[in-house]
Structure 1
């Protein structure tokens, strides 16, 4: 069975004090409506595992999913939707920033970006927050099916060039509709878990 295929919902929390104490975590983050929930559902081969809302900014909590063996996927609130009340946006940003920088259980970040509009100001802020941890980032350029082959190549090369001097950041194209790019994502995330578990046992 693939890593994501056995994914199940675990719990929902709205503050850092309620986060599970045990386990290793990979977080999925992205701008509202970038295709984060669709990507999780596609990877898990489950149409309703992560709630896909037609209203950007609907997911307002940290949702935990379980791979088994104390491996967790953490679905973070989407960021950057203007119509969300300012007080709610401020809460999300504080929660996201603290979680990304201080969470010891977190071993890597999957950053979801719409391939038609990658590396927005808020995406860059998210990367700046997380880079201070020295942990890896894998960027999924979603909705790639909406681009021509030529456009896909151009966008991928442009984003890769942006991070060519940062070995901790990797990039790929992804399409939930066409189910393209799933194997690469699974290989990257699975590698993170394996490396973290190997390190935690002292290389045994």
Structure 2
């Protein structure tokens, strides 16, 4: 079992920003979490940090349209990007957020990795693929977390995992794929191992299981 070198439980809320101009100084290391509004992103962040309400979960997907920043220490931050793909907001709001997202991915030099969360039952939707293309085009490593993995049996879960891994080869980027469940902590050690590596404290000589 991989033991994290960073204490993610010490994460604290730093700020909410409407765009990159209002974010903290562009220094140190940031890792961003992004995904469709029903992909379980807030639950994954809460599971990672062992906090029940660090990232607010909502029964109304897409309610939060700000970039939320959490501090791990003086040099390392977690970034919670707003959920995308939601239908119950005006088109102007969607367009503004898409512009902010593109600006963040392309201009934020402290961003060192992107975690893209997808419901394991509905992976690689068009917007997910757009986001991965953006990241690869910006030379960012990507970790795909197939969330809600407890909704599938072990056989179906492994089949989907392998299919997504094979499909991501076409992106020609640094992409890792793991199954994840906030309910039973499946995939949590693998998530921590990738984040540790991106934050500069891990080692890629350790091999994570499926």
- Determine the C-alpha separation between the residues in 1 that align with 2:87 and 2:123: 18
Aligned equivalents of 1:101, 1:54: Cα separation in 2? 31
Deviation string 1:62-108 (CA, Å, 9 cap, x unpaired) is: 00001113100000000000111111111111101111111111000
Partner of 1:129: 134
Pick aligned residue for 1:95 from 97, 100, 106: 100
Residue in 2 that maps onto 1:84: 89
Partner of 2:168: 163
Q: TM-score, normalised by structure 1?
A: 0.92
Partner of 1:193: 199
Deviations 1:154-189 (A, max 9, x none): 110001001236451000000001111111100101
1:7 aligns with 2:23: no
Given the alignment, which residue of 178, 183, 186 partners 2:184? Answer: 178
How far apart in 2 are the matches of 1:141 and 1:190? 19
1:35 matched to which residue of 2? 40
Q: Distance in 2 between matches of 1:184 and 1:24?
A: 19
TM (norm. structure 2) is: 0.89
Provide the aligned C-alpha RMSD in A.
1.5
| Residue of structure 1 equivalent to 2:205 | none
* Separation in 1, partners of 2:6, 2:103: 31
Q: Aligned partners of 1:102 and 1:2: how far apart in 2?
A: 26
8 A Cα contact 1:62 1:76, kept in partner: yes
CA contact (8 A) 1:64 1:74 kept: yes
Shift of 1:129: 1.2
SS of residue matched to 1:194: coil
Query: Whole-Å Cα distance in 1 between the matches of residues 103 and 188 of structure 2?
Result: 29
